[in-house]
Amino acid sequence: MSQAQATENTLATPVGTTLERYIKRKEAEFAYATGELSQLLRDIALAGKIVNREVNRAGLSRITGAMGEKNVQGEHQQKLDMEANIRFIRALTNGGEACAVLSEEDEHIIETGNTHGKYVVAIDPLDGSSNIDVNVSIGTIFSIYRRVSRIGGPARKEDFLQGGRAQVAAGYILYGSSTMLVYTTGHGVAGFTYENSLGEFFLSHPDIKIPRQGPVFSCNEGNWFDYPEFVRTFLTTCKERRLTARYVGSLVADYHRNLFTGGIYLYPPTVAKPEGKLRLLYEGYPLAFLIEQAGGMAVTGADVVLDVHPTSDLHQRAPLFVGSADLVQELQAVAAQ
C-alpha cells in the first residue's frame, strides 16, 4: 500500500462513537427521557477523567511531593482515594442532577444542595485500597436511583435503600492498562475506552455479554480456612476441573476480566467477617445489576443479590459471588444444600 493510500484509509476511518454521542443517541430512543440521567452519566465520566489523570500521575507523587504533603504550589495533596471522593462529589454537585451522594469514604449521606435533583448516587470512588499505592489496576463503582423523597426537599436515607432492582443505572470505571467506563441503564451493557490524547471515552464494546461458562475463579484463597464449607466444596470442584485462579485484589479489575473471559469472582463470608467484606449499596448491587444485564448472575450464597432487601445500614456488607451464569448457579446450588 502506498503512503498516499494509507493516509487516505486512515482519514476514511470513522472517528468512532464518543460517550457523549452514545448517551444522546440512547436518550433519543426513550420517549420520556428528559436528559437528567444522561447529564448524571456525563458528570461521572468527567470526574472519571480527572481521577484517571491523578491515578496516572500517582507514581510521580514522590518526585513532585508525597501524598499527604504539600506540592510545589504549596497545595495540600490528598491521598488518591480522598482525592477521587472529592472529584466525584464535586462533579455530581456541579452537575445539578444528584440531590445526594452516598460514598464509601463518608459515613453520612452528602447533600449536594441540588434539592430539585431527581437522583441519588451511591459510589465507591476508588476501590482496591491495597492496590492504590502500588500501581496496580483500581476502579470506581457507581449506582444511581431515582429518589423517592419529595423533590425540593432534602434527600433521605430511604432514597438509597430502595433495593437493587430499583437502580436506574450502574457501572464502573477501570483505571488499568487502559481506562474504561462500563455501564448499564437496564438495556444491556456498553463499554467505552478512554483515549487520553483526545480526552474522550469511545464506544469500544457496544453490547457486552459474559460467557455462560468460564475458565477463571477469583478469590483470596489466603482465607481458605475461614471460608464456610459450601465455598470450599465449590472451590474444590473448580480445582478438580482445572479452572484457573486469577485474583488481583481489586474488585473492578477482577470483575472486568471475568466479564470478558467468563469466570466467577467470590468474596465469601469469613470467620472474621461473617457478612463478607464488600458493601451492598455501592459494590454488590451495581455489579449485580450490570452482570445480569450482561447475561450473568450475582448471589450472596443461596440468594440473588438484587433480591436482597437492604437493612437500614447504608454501609452494610454482603457476601458476593458474581460472574458467569453456570458457575454462579452451581455455587448457589451448593450454598442452598
- Give the Cα separation of 155 and 115 in Å (integer): 7
- Give the Cα separation of 170 and 167 in Å (integer): 7
Which residues are known binding-site members for substrate? 127-130, 220, 247, 265-267, 277
State yes or no: residue 147 binds ligand AHM (CB under 6 A). no
Long-range contacts of 101-107 (CB under 8 A, 24+ apart): 102/160, 102/281, 102/282, 102/314, 103/282, 104/279, 104/282, 104/315, 105/81, 107/315
Q: Which is nearer to Mg ion, 211 or 286 (CB)?
A: 286
- Give the Cα separation of 321 and 264 in Å (integer): 7
State yes or no: residue 292 binds Mg ion (CB under 5 A). no
State yes or no: residue 97 binds Mg ion (CB under 5 A). no
Number of amino acids touching ligand AHM (CB under 6 A): 11
The span of 1-9, 202-210, 224-232, 247-255 binding ligand AHM (CB under 6 A) equals 247-255
Q: Which is nearer to ligand AHM, 204 or 218 (CB)?
A: 218
Residues 229-288 that bind Mg ion (CB under 5 A): none
Among 83, 127, 254, 292, contact with Mg ion (rule: CB under 5 A)? 127
**Cβ of residue 271: shortest distance to ligand AHM, in angstroms?**
13
Q: Please name the residue ranges forming H helices in the chain.
A: 3-12, 19-29, 36-57, 61-64, 80-95, 129-132, 157-160, 229-240, 251-261, 285-293, 325-336
Residues 84-143 that bind ligand AHM (CB under 6 A): 124, 127-130
Which residues are known binding-site members for Mg(2+)? 104, 124, 126-127, 283
State yes or no: residue 250 binds ligand AHM (CB under 6 A). yes
**Cβ of residue 147: shortest distance to Mg ion, in angstroms?**
24
The span of 50-58, 126-134, 148-156, 223-231 binding Mg ion (CB under 5 A) equals 126-134
- Give the Cα separation of 46 and 51 in Å (integer): 9
How many residues are listed for the chain in this entry? 337
State yes or no: residue 124 binds Mg ion (CB under 5 A). yes
